[in-house]
Amino acid sequence: MENDLAKTAYLATLRHLSHVAPTIAKQIALELQTQRSHLKLIASENYSSLTVQLAMGNLLTDKYCEGYPHHRFYAGCEQVDAIEEEAATLAKELFGADHAYVQPHSGADANLVALWAILTERIQTPFMEKLGRKNPDQLNSEEFETLRQTLCNQTLLGLSLGSGGHLTHGFRQNFSAKMMRAVHYDVDPTSHRLDYGKIAEIARKERPLILLAGYSAYPRHIDFAKMREIADEVGATFMVDMAHFAGLVAGKAFQGVNNPVSYAHVLTTTTHKTLRGPRGGMVLCNKEFRDSVNKGCPMVLGGPLPHVIASKAIAFREALTPEFERYAAQVVANARTLAEELIKEGVSLITGGTDNHLVLIDLSKTPLTGRMVETILVEAGITSNRNMIPFDPEGAWYTSGIRLGTPALTTLGMGSDEMREVARIIAKVIRNCKPESAKSRARATIEPKIMKEARSRVQALLDRYPLYPEIDLEEVACG
């Protein structure tokens, strides 16, 4: 995938670090070794290209550029303006969006910017207009307090954390539930799928300012046309958090009513999951929200990271290629094969399968918790994460679920045969795993013979699909 120049530059950087900061270089090398010795099945992770990584290591990190292109609070932003405009233009082309704001440092930050922009456009602006003032600075204390209370009392309706939503979708311990009045919809208790009739019923009762769709752990498609209809019926702004599946949208694996871009007023995403870019976030929106979204920094965010924005531009360019479309289709095909084989092997899945890149194993009918299985799988050389299943009796720490995702293994080049082997290894580990004691919800045991077999089968897969084969750590001499 990478050319010789990228390899040379990457190795030179590591070699340099090993001279000037051996402890840091050593941890980077160890991280590579760890990632090389495990099958990465964390649904929200991926492997970015060496070029995406290299683009972040430069002097752009030294530049302050609060504001947005051609409207900055610092001098000397001409180059940063050009880079940010290029990244935004590529993002718009990739997703077919009216406007792209590429500054958010993460998906959570992107969500904050989006919520704030919607509150600004829909509540603050009309409030100011009614009083004949331009901005909140011109309000007296009493008026400002009324504005503040009005903003806080607006309703956000999103998928509950337990049903696969995200912390920033109004989870009570998160800021999103304190800046607004948060209410939730759940998945159906039996099918574990979204029930659009029920969502419409809740929306009619709650009259939300914002209807939010999107997930971190929901293995099925969302019908965004239906969600938009609900939003329109109750006069809500429709926001979609596509952090998990943005790469599947960009790569055209999600089309029609499953592609949210033409249905949502505002969309948010991370750039490092299925999209395979640098760690970061982004907001897409229609023209109505553009001006408020652009003011995300400095009103919501700290200073932009121009070196990361440069890398986002590289990633968007990579995602505009036919190779990326093939990748996105394979991510979905691999998840489906993984799910089918797990079921064949007797593993229970939430909703009985998947439409996207993730699979949610249901351990609730076993004596195991997600915490136990997560730990045992890491010993076997598989990284995944424990995750709540809908209405989880074990809560968020121990959980009754394991979330698996195919974006990273697909990047390595794995296909259906490999997914079947991965499923069989995981199923065998789960079948042979037992709680360590009646009291423990965290620790499990497994026969050493089974563990040894699992490890060697994992290693056989890793040997065939090496991570960053261009990088020879011996050459770097930082170990």
Residues noted as catalytic:
64, 66, 241, 270, 273, 279
d(CA 479, CA 473): 8
Position 152, amino acid: C
Least distance in Å: CB of 167 to ligand DSN?
7
Residue nearest to ligand DSN (CB): 44
Total residues in contact with ligand DSN, by rule CB under 6 A: 4
Nearest to 242 by CA among 343, 182, 159: 159
Least distance in Å: CB of 216 to ligand DSN?
4
Between 192 and 386, name the residue whose CB sits nearer to ligand DSN: 386
d(CA 402, CA 116): 33
Least distance in Å: CB of 312 to ligand DSN?
18
d(CA 192, CA 206): 22
Is there binding between residue 400 and ligand DSN (CB under 6 A)? no
Between 113 and 454, name the residue whose CB sits nearer to ligand DSN: 113
Under the phi-then-psi rule, with left for phi > 0, alpha for psi from -120 to 50, and beta for the rest, what region is 285? beta
d(CA 47, CA 272): 8
Is there binding between residue 271 and ligand DSN (CB under 6 A)? no
Measured in degrees and rounded to the nearest 5, phi and psi for residue 424 equal -65, -40
d(CA 260, CA 156): 19
Nearest to 349 by CA among 416, 407, 400: 400
Between 216 and 271, name the residue whose CB sits nearer to ligand DSN: 216
d(CA 150, CA 127): 9
Between 25 and 239, name the residue whose CB sits nearer to ligand DSN: 239
Between 157 and 358, name the residue whose CB sits nearer to ligand DSN: 358
Q: Which positions from 136 through 195 interact with ligand DSN, judged by CB under 6 A?
A: 166
Residue 99 contacts residue 290 (beta carbons within 8 Å): yes
List the one residue from 18, 38, 44, 192 that touches ligand DSN (CB under 6 A): 44
d(CA 395, CA 410): 31
Least distance in Å: CB of 108 to ligand DSN?
7
Geometric angle at alpha carbon 277, from 212 and 102, rounded to 5°: 55
State CA 433 to chain mean position distance. 30
Q: Which positions from 101 through 130 interact with ligand DSN, judged by CB under 6 A?
A: 107
Under the phi-then-psi rule, with left for phi > 0, alpha for psi from -120 to 50, and beta for the rest, what region is 48? beta
Between 40 and 166, name the residue whose CB sits nearer to ligand DSN: 166
Is there binding between residue 216 and ligand DSN (CB under 6 A)? yes
Least distance in Å: CB of 179 to ligand DSN?
18
Where do contacts with ligand DSN occur on this chain (CB under 6 A)?
A: 44, 107, 166, 216
